[in-house]
Amino acid sequence: MLIKTADYSASYPDIRKCPVSDLPEYAFIGRSNVGKSSLLNMVVDRKKLALTSGKPGKTQMINYFIINKEWYLVDLPGYGYAKLSKTKRIAFRKMIDNYLQKRMNLQCTFVLIDCNISPQEIDIEFINTLGEFRIPFVIVYTKADKSKPIQLEQNIKAFQEALYEHWNELPRQFTTSANERQGKEELLEYIEEINQNYFNWQQNNG
């Protein structure tokens, strides 16, 4: 997929305020400080489409970006909730859950996992929640350039083994590095494949 246009659309505090649209949506989410903004900028080939920050937890709304005027990239708040009050953590989780469970346009959720650290229970719990509600998702390992290949392979294997304690089979998985621009084409090809099926279905059932 060639990215011709990528523009910020709007931010929403609640699913009820999200745009009325028949365009497909792809949500990106991960624990705070997983490198989400850097990955999004790499995927759409824009340096500052999603603002990066040294402070985790900066994304606090449902952020919409329109790509090629054909689909929405949706940047969701992280579920690490760095240095947020309990009240805000509960509100964020409700906002995220409502979007993921109720947004009919959502085609796939991209769950970002830092492949340089040991499996985190919060990541496992979030993925299990997606499975419980039958929300389509894939796993995207980030910051692959930060570890040596052998260590990277061991870390990913450890995470997969942790998931296999709860899952019989795993979804598609992608290994990425924003610094090395690794995984960009694979992610865009996957989105394009879903888009083609989505628009074909619309044409045949519209």
CA distances from 60 to 15, 33, 92, 106, 183 (A): 13, 14, 7, 19, 26
In this structure, what CATH number is given to the domain that contains residue 124? 3.40.50.300
pLDDT at 55: 44
pLDDT 10s digits, 99-141: 999 999 999 999 999 999 999 999 999 999 999 999 999 999 9
- What's the structural domain count of the chain? 1
pLDDT 10s digits, 146-167: 999 999 999 999 999 999 999 9
Is 190 within the bounds of a domain? yes
Q: What is the mean pLDDT of residues 42-62?
A: 68
Mean pLDDT of the chain: 89
Is 155 within the bounds of a domain? yes
What does the alpha-carbon distance between residue 99 and residue 149 come to, in Å, rounded to a whole number?
36
pLDDT at 160: 97
Give this prediction's pTM: 0.92
Domain range for 103: 6-200
Is 56 within the bounds of a domain? yes
